[in-house]
Amino acid sequence: MEFLLLVVAAALVWLFVATYNRLQKLGNEVKRFRGDVAAALKKRSDLVGRLIDIAKSYGDHEKLTQITASTRMGEIAGGGPDMDNASRLFSGLAMAFPELKANATYQQLMSQLHEIEGNLQTRREQYNEVASRYNSYRSSLPQALFASAIGFPEAAYFTVDENGMDILPDFRTDDGMILKEGLQNLGARTSAMAQTAGQKLSQARKELEARQAAEAAAGQEPPPPSAPQN
């Protein structure tokens, strides 16, 4: 019976370790792909800022006041809904200003902007795919019973709001801190229990030795004198 209990306990420990490692691996994938999306968004924002600076150098041109590009560029700089259409807006601006279109730096930045906008869609889809894989595993049994308790929350998906703005959700896992603290607490409780058990065992041994000594002393006493016979 004791052997069977040991086998069951070992199997449960192995299952928990395997599940934890799988959650950790999938969670790290979500973080990595999220980081790729965040890096692409940052790069796009930087490119747009540089393009705005270049376009501003043509601000004295009289045709600049005849189009609404300045307003649209302000929306882009502020991270507004036209951010996803940055390349289209700047292309339209270049059509109005041939001098801008001929600018070598502008052409280089526009090429990079086209590339980063193309990559963003792929990276968004990749992030949502790994988030879905992580969430599916996390919500399955038995890990659904303890995933949150050991620091593995659900991963939110990459979406856009009603204005078309990107929403890249935050995602953090506990990275084993809860588990480490739990093991430390378990170790401390086990040590305290062992210490208490040792103290009780020592006390019981002392009491047994005292009892044996008392019994031995009683056995060595001479028998009481017999009553005189008539």
| % of the chain beyond a pLDDT of 70 | 64
Alpha-helix runs per DSSP H in 78-176: 86-96, 98-101, 104-138
Please tell me the predicted confidence (pLDDT) of residue 64.
Answer: 44
75, 90: one domain: yes
190, 164: one domain: no
Count of structural domains within the chain: 2
Does any domain span residue 225? no
The residue out of 153, 173, 193 marking a domain boundary is: 173
15, 61: one domain: yes
**CB neighbour list of residue 10: distance below 8 Å, 6 or more residues apart:** none
At 10, the amino acid letter reads: A
Does any domain span residue 85? yes
**Ramachandran category for residue 79: left, alpha or beta (phi over 0 → left; psi -120 to 50 → alpha):** left
**Span 139-193, pLDDT tens digits:** 998 888 888 888 899 999 988 766 666 778 888 887 666 556 655 554 555 555 5
- Three-class DSSP category at 30: helix
- Three-class DSSP category at 160: strand
Contact 127, 158 (CB under 8 A): yes
**Stretch 12-24: mean pLDDT, rounded?**
88
**Span 98-124, pLDDT tens digits:** 777 788 888 888 888 888 888 888 898
Of 158, 149, 101, give the one whose Cα is nearest residue 126.
158
Does any domain span residue 84? yes
CATH code of residue 65? 1.20.1440.20
Instruction: Provide the domain limits for residue 114.
Output: 2-173
24, 135: one domain: yes
Classify residue 173 as exposed, middle or buried by CB count within 10 Å of its CB (0-12, 13-18, 19+). buried
- Residue 87 has a CB neighbour count (10 Å cut-off) of 21
H/E stretch holding 49 reads helix 2-56
